[in-house]
Amino acid sequence: MIVDDDEPVLMLCSQLLRLAGAQVSTELGGENVVARVQELMPDIILMDVQLGTTTGFDLCNEIQSNAALRAIPIILMSGTSLATEDIVRGFRFGAVDYVLKPFQSPELCARLSSHIELARYREQYREFAMMLHTELDQQYQEYVYQKVQMNKAQGILQQFKQEIEQVLSIGNERDRIAKLRTISSALDEEIRDWDSWHTMEREFRKVHENYQQVLLQAYPKLSKTEIRVCMMIRLNHSSKAIAEMLQVGVPTVEIYRHRIRKKMGLHSEENFYTHLVRMLS
């Protein structure tokens, strides 16, 4: 996109870039620049410093203040040499380069191409960093989940150990037996709770034998916990029921739901459940 308040210069610059094979949009003056940038999302903006009622500095600052537009590189241009402080001001407001009019077409095209390529590399780096962050976060969540399970198991074992030691100190045999029966009943309940997930999975596998392979083949970035969440959503369990099964908080389950939908490219809970029904039918 080229922005200038001088129409002949705007047309000349546009023609030069079109002859070089670029697709060009133009904007005369600075009144509607931000709206046009939001509409067109150009690869790069070539903008004059002086734009009548506003300046390229102000528009550069406004564009860079918008998170959705921040990645678009902006080159400022001027018909006169700028003072050093003005050049620094442009860079501070987010410009990536500065050119002086009149300019040579090969030089201008080379600058534009370089900054477009750099912007693409920056975007690829940003996406890779976000993907790496997500992957590390998933691994951390898996670690936390396993750690919670281990701590709970250790706590239960310690509790029963203490209760058995107390039983050994009971002198009356009838009281000892009664206490042992209470401990045995509590242990059976804990075992049932711990085995409930495996029981559910075994029943689910009878109907959907290869559900893990199906999900991983379509979405290889799903974690083990996310696959479990998918299974329970397919069974139409609520977030509260899933949280109880995984022994995590409901907000954590909502985070899992959001993350899985994002990996699957889905936009609503309704589409999420319907999609899983189609996949695991």
Long-range contacts of 31-34 (CB under 8 A, 24+ apart): 33/3, 33/59, 33/63, 34/59, 34/62, 34/63, 34/66, 34/69
Q: Is the pLDDT of residue 194 over 60?
A: no
Closest among 124, 6, 1, 121 to 63, alpha carbons compared: 1
Q: What ranges do the domains of the chain cover? A: 2-123, 208-281
How high is the pLDDT of residue 59?
92
Among 77-81, 144-148, 154-158, which range has the highest average pLDDT?
A: 77-81
pLDDT tier for residue 3 given thresholds of 50, 70 and 90:
very high
236 within 8 A of 273, measured Cβ to Cβ:
yes
Q: Is the pLDDT of residue 195 over 60?
A: no
Helix (H, G, I), strand (E, B) or coil at 22: coil
Bridge partners (DSSP) listed for residue 28: 4
CATH tag, 2-123: 3.40.50.2300
Tens-place pLDDT, residues 102-125:
777 788 888 888 888 888 888 888
Is the domain spanning 208-281 CATH 1.10.150.20? The answer is no
pTM of the model as a whole: 0.49
